[in-house]
Chain A
């Protein structure tokens, strides 16, 4: 079987960005990220430059995956929600079907109920876009670096 690639189209990215911007405003959270199931960051709201969104995406995907192994161990099919509480900030992660994770970072002063409700709403809105990405399409050769491009890129 060929597992090609996931494809993200500009108009879909726009829609997803609208959804997470709205989530950010409504829930009064600090940052929102969408991560796919292999740990790639799909998109995020603007954040504090000290937060590296790529790293955050990778770590949350790993964390979420590990938590779901825990779920299986105790006989649950999955945990759809993971919450980490810090002294000042918290992380709320919610599965987007089985295609990705919605990650919300919020301050302790923000009520968790608000985060929970708006995350849930956003997940419902986001799911069709993430499902649409799973097209397993090949890339066009003209967009990809050739062997020669790679050789010349730097001194390997």
Chain B
């Protein structure tokens, strides 16, 4: 849940990157970290296994400074995608203001995309949030790989809300900043709407 701090004139929102294991959530955060000027970012942390799989979460705080008299801050989190970590995902979703769902475009990962989306709906509900109205964008990641599902098929299977979607090649930064910017706009528009 957004924190509106009238004492410090500061707004803090929480954005969570969700999706199946290895879909590229951590890669999104790493790219954003690399792309942002130092003035806009804090320290990034990754709680991961030795093989770089997210174990609990990644965290990247962004600070856009004073715009319109209030300092605007976003805290980006990724969840661990592996199926067994559903309890951790639930924790990370607590108080989420917006979601970037990172799907893996590869044909053999479609079932994992679908179950991750279902898992997200349930976990959101447990936090008192609703997948049908929380600010959400989707990224069809790994478009550079050979055996991928056509975008129309991804839209049809996963984008039940017709939210904005982005084709992604996360390690090259394709579709990364645009997805972030869009979800940020959605969060702010809802907050002030």
Contacts and interface: CB of A to CB of B under 8 A. Distances in A.
Contacts of A12: 7
A64 to B, nearest CB: 9
Interface residues of B, number: 50
A136 B4 CA distance: 10
B188 A145 contact: yes
Given A65-B94, A145-B188, A149-B67, A5 B1 contact: yes
A153 B64 CA distance: 8
Interface string B1-31: 1111111100110100000000000000000
Contacts, number: 131
A130 B14 CA distance: 19
Interface in B75-96: 75, 87-88, 91-92, 94-96
Chain B contact residues, majority secondary structure = mixed
A38 B72 contact: no
A1 to B, nearest CB: 7
Nearest to B92: A62
Contacts of B192: 138-141, 143-144
Given A40-B75, A142-B68, A143-B69, A5 B7 contact: no
A142 B40 CA distance: 22
5 contacts: A8-B4, A54-B61, A65-B91, A139-B2, A145-B68
Interface of B: 1-8, 11-12, 14, 36-37, 40, 42-43, 45, 47, 56-57, 59, 61, 64, 67-70, 72, 75, 87-88, 91-92, 94-96, 128-130, 177-178, 180-181, 184-185, 188-189, 191-193
